Structure 1
Amino acid sequence: MQFRSKSAKSTMTARRETRPALDAPTLIREARFTFVRGLTWAGIVSGFINVLQLTVPLFMLQVHDRVINSQSIDTLKLLLIIAVGAIILYGILDFIRAMTFQEMAKSLLRRLNLPAIAAAMSVSMEKGSTPGTQVLRDLADLRTFINGNTIGAPLEALWSPIFLGVMFALHPFYGLAGVIGVIMLIGLSLLGDLLSRRITKEASDANLRNIADIGSAIPHAEAIEGMGMMPALAMRWRAAQHHTTELLDISNARGKGMYSLTRSLRYGLQVGVLAMGAALVIKGETSPGAMIGGTVIMGRLLLPFDNVTRDWRGWVNALSAWRRIRDILEQRQSEREVAPTPRCEGPLVVDNLVYAVSGNNVPVLKGISFDINPGEILGIIGPSAAGKSTLSRVLIGAAKPTAGGVYLDGHSTYLWERGSFGDMVGYLPQSVSLLNGTIRENIGRMRDADPRKVIDAARAAGVHEMIGRLPLGYDTPIGSGRYTLSGGQKQRIALARALYGWPRLLVLDEPNANLDAEGEASLIRAIRAASENGAMVVLIAHRQSIMRYAHKLLVLQEGRVKQFGERTDVVQALSDPGTDVKSLPDSNRKYVANGGKLENGGAA
């Protein structure tokens, strides 16, 4: 059995990358500063680039007016040397500007990547939405936009007064034609934006909804296929796609129509300037070289505005991506402690806990209070929709309490810095999911884990031998399109992940739902070992066999604590004739009816 570990250098880099992020306002402010600073530097470089772009028209003007008239080869050589030098300098500065955009994109994404993804994951846990993949797309779109050619067009247009100045110097009519052309192109750009903005936003929102709907269905492909739901879903998706396509077609038609109009206008203006120059030459008011140079400069003057009309959608999409990133960061303010908290040994205290889902006025948990001491096992029972799984999520800090709080050794589990909190807590959710990676990486919580700790956790969960029989042992890749595990195997590996590092708080939601007798025996041994090691264990289960090892029982009903105390006391209280236990699941009801004994006669 071999383990592949990362180098010390990569580990140090990973630690630097996972340092706690700044609060959202500071992060957004620094991101804006990075963008503005890079754009300012690129704009300054663009000024020199625009000056150098006058090389070709001025070279043409000088050759036509000086070289041809003087028949001087020496003058032509000198002009050629100057022009070649200017073109080489232009290429160097253009490369520097491209590298500026690349560095700006890298710096911006380095600041936003981790905080935005972490914020998206937090929001998805609290609101039940799935913005994580959208944030990744938005970050990629932002990087592509900054690295692309679209961002440079407004900078080119910003320095248009240089070309206007040269045109006025050639002849006032040239300058006046340039001003009129710029005003017309700007007006058409604004008109195009006005005509397409609303429909483009609707199309973008509809497309995002379609992607989210299809993405949310992928994990349930087996149920969809098994129950013949695919034709109905396909019809719904096709109708939604048709609607989105219609909106996109309207938006594209308007955008392309406006771009065709502006391009035709640009070419028409160039023809007009050439005709005007010819008339001025005939009247003797300007030279033939000025006529040619003015026409070329006119085309160069209008080109950035033409590109802005063509690329405005890229700016709109980039702005939308930035707003979504900003909103997700602002929704999830950095409320958690920045400094890691050392490992502690104290009790778990739940104090008047209230939790309501965002947008819902009816709390799921209503004034819950209890405590657990180190080494104790708490069993939580109750009917479906009583709030048991929600309570488990709040206990581990995955959801923010609406009121009250959950405190581990006096520290709020929600405000705890997540890296050090992970060393304290193990969690097995009701819906077991393993990440793409090897079994070793999953058990080691995707860290550069100590192989001995991974094996210890696997032995504690009773899966060491099972893993050894897999194709590559602990290095067997699992996840999408990789080695397929059964439900029981997934649950036992997820249990090993929860036990990794012997956490002080272990929260297990339906840990024996997919286990056979052997797997449940291993689970019970793991729970008892964790308890004997001083861990606090919270068990949520419907199957009664595991509750015999609980020291305390908590009965939840409609989000409230119906009973809490020592296991024997709670069982006795629920066994009284006047106590209503009909709301409990069948297995829990039998457990209470038997006086805390198993159906096979085992003592509780």
Structure 2
Amino acid sequence: SAVFQQKLTGSSQAQVNALDDLSTLRQFITGQAPAAFFDLPWFPIYLIVLYSFHPLLGHFALCSAAILVLFAYLNEKLAANYMEKAMLVGMAANYQFQTQLQHVESAHALGIRKNLQARWLGFQESFIESFVGGTKRTTAFTHMSKSLRMIVQSGVLGLGAWLVIEGQITAGMMIAASILLGRVLAPVDQLIMAWKQWISARHAYARLNDLLSGTEPKKAKIALPAPTGALTVSGLISAPPGVNVATLRGISFALQPGDILAVSGDSGSGKSTLARVLLNIWPAAQGKIYLDKSEIKHWDQQELSQYLGYVSQDSELFSGSIRANISRMADDNDEAVIKAAQEARAHELIMSLPQGYETILGENGRGLSGGQKQKIALARACYLQPKIIILDEPDTSLDKQALAELKQILQSWSKQQVTIMLISHDTDLISIANKSLTLKQGMQTFFGDNPLFKKTTRSLSTSYPSASNISISFKHTLPKEQANG
């Protein structure tokens, strides 16, 4: 949930490695490293026994343990910068590789595959340089620790022999001291061996903690009654996550069930931003959005989603079967899946495929044409008959015949009292909308009855429910500094 939320707010690379961090933390907890902490309580017990033999033996064991810990600390400090850099570069290389795979066709067609490979190899060279630098220091300290361990073990025998000669301990105590020293240093040795895992787990925990702390906990919300599809927007101001300048300012309109709203405007005028805010993907900085009489922020997102349909510009599909895509990965209502496909005029297309509804799609619908993906996305949008459907440039991949079908589909949904918001530049498609909203540089310049709809209603047999008779025209312009923003 936190990964999805952070992705929606604009962060990207952090989420790519979140599951890797979780795996690192899980492996540390379930591995051998934590066992060293369970052996640690025996350290003072064996040390006390050595002190009871002779204070010099206790001092020797305590100093030996301190020197070994100091070696491990110096190892971590001197190698940490190299290993941290290697980890960050490795994460960046993996992220770049994953993003490049999403655009492999463009890379092949434009002949930039070698350039991308060169960039990736640059990351790998930097990773290897940092990793080798850290490994050299770690290896050197490891060998020094092993040598010191052997010297310490021999040293306690020498010290014990001297004490025996002086008559301060017996020969049996000397042998026992050698064995006890091994017991005293055993937990320290285990901790040193687990030191690298501990550092990796600590960094993974810190990154996961940052990820989770940046996500507000979800509070349980009361279940609201099913909406009819009336949508009211009042004084809406919003901007994409991470952007300080508002891209939408002062948007206000009202729609009744069955209305079709055509949203038009120049590129960058805020049309897609408006769609994302209405879908509760991006938050509204100011203003209110009502679904019937309830503000959209009072809805539980999972519950709200069942009343919303959405077709993005790219008709994004998930890896999996067509049935799973249409059912929004629920896979438990075949009747509703077929009904949605029939409403979207996609049933015949699906049945013409070798595996029908069980046809497995690749990443983002790989294997289907743009128009075929669009039909599957339309079927998913109307699955379980939502009350509001938002379509962002749905005519992008459609030919003339498919566009005519899309118009019929939208008119059919309107008859079923579904409220539709249609973002498009196609005047033929816009002509079926009874309401029109025009945006310019993030501001609303017109909302009211669609003049194109008035010209074409005589040739259409579709009748629309009455909507609020609002006609708003804005003639003021933005200051230059706001317009440039």
User: Are positions 1:222 and 2:99 aligned together?
Assistant: no
Map of 1:115-126 to 2, 5 A cutoff? 118-126=1-9
Residue number among 80, 83, 87 corresponding to 1:197 in the alignment: 80
Residue 360 of structure 1 aligns to a residue whose secondary structure is coil
Mapping of residues 95-134 of structure 1, within 5 Å:
118-134=1-17
Structure 1 position 473, deviation (Å):
1.3
Say which SS state the counterpart of residue 448 (structure 2) adopts. Answer: strand
- What is residue 314 of structure 1 aligned with on the other side? 197
What stretches of structure 1 of length at least 5 have no aligned partner?
1-117, 573-577, 581-604
Q: Summarize the alignment of residues 189-338 of structure 1 with structure 2, pairs less than 5 Å apart.
A: 189-334=72-217, 337-338=220-221
TM-score under structure 1 length normalisation: 0.71
Identify which range, 332-341 or 531-540, moves more after superposition. Answer: 332-341
Hey, what does 1:33 align to over in structure 2? Answer: none
SS in 1 for 2:284: coil
Classify 1:553/1:351 alpha carbon distance in 2 versus 1 (closer, same or farther; 3 Å): same
Matched, 1:556 2:439: yes
Alignment-derived partner of residue 33 in structure 2: 150
Separation in 2 of the partners of 1:255 and 1:415?
54
Look up the match of 1:540: 423
**Map of 2:51 onto structure 1:** 168
The answer to whether the Cα contact below 8 Å between 2:24 and 2:204 also exists between their aligned partners in 1 is yes
1:184 aligns with 2:67: yes
Match of 2:398 among 515, 518, 525: 515
Give the helix-richer structure, 1 or 2: 1
- Per the alignment, residue 343 of structure 1 pairs with 226
- Kindly state the Cα deviation for residue 408 of structure 1 after the two structures are TM-superposed: 1.3
Matches of 1:352 and 1:422, distance apart in 2 = 23
For the structure 1 residues 413 and 481, does the alpha-carbon distance in structure 2 shift closer, same or farther, using more than 3 Å as the test?
closer
Please state whether the residue corresponding to 2:9 is helix, strand or coil: helix
For the residues of structure 1 that align with 2:346 and 2:72, how far apart are their CA atoms? 65
Residues paired across the two proteins, number: 460
Q: Which amino acid aligns with 2:259?
A: E
1:363-413: CA deviation from partner (whole Å, max 9, x where unpaired): 111221112111100011111111111111111001111222322123343
- Aligned to 1:392, which of 275, 287, 293? 275
Shift, 1:464, TM fit: 0.7
Aligned counterparts, 1:73-84, within 5 A: none
Deviation by residue 1:536-580 (Cα, 9 ceiling, x = unmatched): 1000112222111101011111111121111028999xxxxx999
Question: In the alignment, which residue of structure 1 is the partner of 2:349?
Answer: 466
* Residue number among 448, 451, 455 corresponding to 1:568 in the alignment: 451
Code of the residue aligned with 2:354 in structure 1: it is P
Q: Which residue of 2 aligns with 1:106?
A: none
Which position in structure 2 is the counterpart of 1:406?
289
Residue 291 of structure 1, CA deviation: 2.8
Give the whole-Å Cα distance in 2 for the aligned partners of 1:340 and 1:241: 51
Aligned residue for 1:131, secondary structure, equals helix
Check conservation: 2:42, 2:184, Cα contact below 8 A. Answer: no
Check the 8 A contact 1:342/1:420 in 2, yes or no.
Answer: no
Q: CA deviation at 1:334?
A: 2.7
For the residue of structure 1 that corresponds to 2:318, the secondary structure is coil
Cα displacement string for residues 263-310 of structure 1 (whole angstroms, at most 9, x for unaligned residues): 221221011112223333445543444333322221232232233233
1:505 is matched with: 388
Deviation, structure 1 residue 231: 1.5
Tell me the secondary structure at the aligned position of residue 538 of structure 1.
Answer: strand
Higher-RCO chain (CA-CA 8 Å, sequence separation at least 6): 2
Amino acid of the residue matched to residue 413 of structure 1?
I
Q: By how many angstroms is 1:336 displaced?
A: 6.0
Distance 1:548 1:481, change over 3 A: closer
More off after superposition, 248-257 vs 377-386: 248-257
- Counterpart CA distance in 1 for 2:325 and 2:364 is 16
Q: Report the residue type matching 1:303 in the other structure.
A: A
Within 1, Cα distance between the matches of 2:229 and 2:337? 25
**Structure 1 residues 449 and 150: CA distance shift in structure 2, 3 A:** same
Q: Distance in 2 between matches of 1:549 and 1:465?
A: 25
Q: Confirm whether residue 135 of structure 1 aligns to residue 18 of structure 2.
A: yes
Whether the 8 Å contact between 2:221 and 2:298 is mirrored in structure 1 is no
Output the CA distance in 1 between the equivalents of 2:407 and 2:176. 88
Offset at residue 163 of structure 1 (A): 1.6
Task: Return the letter of the residue paired with 1:548.
Answer: S
* 8 Å CA contact 1:177, 1:273 repeated in 2: yes
SS of the residue corresponding to residue 49 of structure 2 reads: helix
**1:435 shift after superposition:** 1.2
- Where structure 2 has 5 or more consecutive residues not aligned to the other structure, the ranges are 456-474, 478-485
Please state if 1:436 is matched with 2:319.
yes
CA 1:540–1:501 in 2, change beyond 3 Å: closer, same or farther? same
Matches within 5 A, 1:372-391: 372-391=255-274
Deviations 1:82-125 (A, max 9, x none): xxxxxxxxxxxxxxxxxxxxxxxxxxxxxxxxxxxx12212212
1:426 aligns with 2:298: no
Alignment of 1:79-90 (within 5 A): none
The CA deviation string for residues 398-440 of structure 1, in whole angstroms up to 9 with x for no partner, is 1111222322123343552122111110011112221122111
Q: Quickly say closer, same or farther: Cα 1:465–1:479, change in 2 above 3 A.
A: same
Q: Which amino acid letter does the alignment assign opposite residue 476 of structure 1?
A: T
Deviation, 1:481, is 11
Return the letter of the residue paired with 1:265: L
Counterpart CA distance in 2 for 1:552 and 1:128 is 36
Q: TM-score, normalised by structure 2?
A: 0.88
Q: CA deviation at 1:354?
A: 1.4
CA–CA separation in structure 1 for the residues paired with 2:290 and 2:365: 40
| 1:245–1:407 CA distance, 2 compared to 1 (3 A) | farther
Return closer, same or farther for 1:570/1:327 CA change in 2, 3 Å cut-off. Answer: farther
Q: Which amino acid aligns with 1:245?
A: I
Displacement after TM superposition at 1:164 (Å): 0.7
Q: Structure 1 vs Structure 2: percent identity of aligned residues?
A: 33
Deviations 1:196-241 (A, max 9, x none): 3333333322222222222222111110111011122222222222
Distance 2:128 2:299 in 1: 46
Q: Secondary structure at the match of 2:194?
A: helix
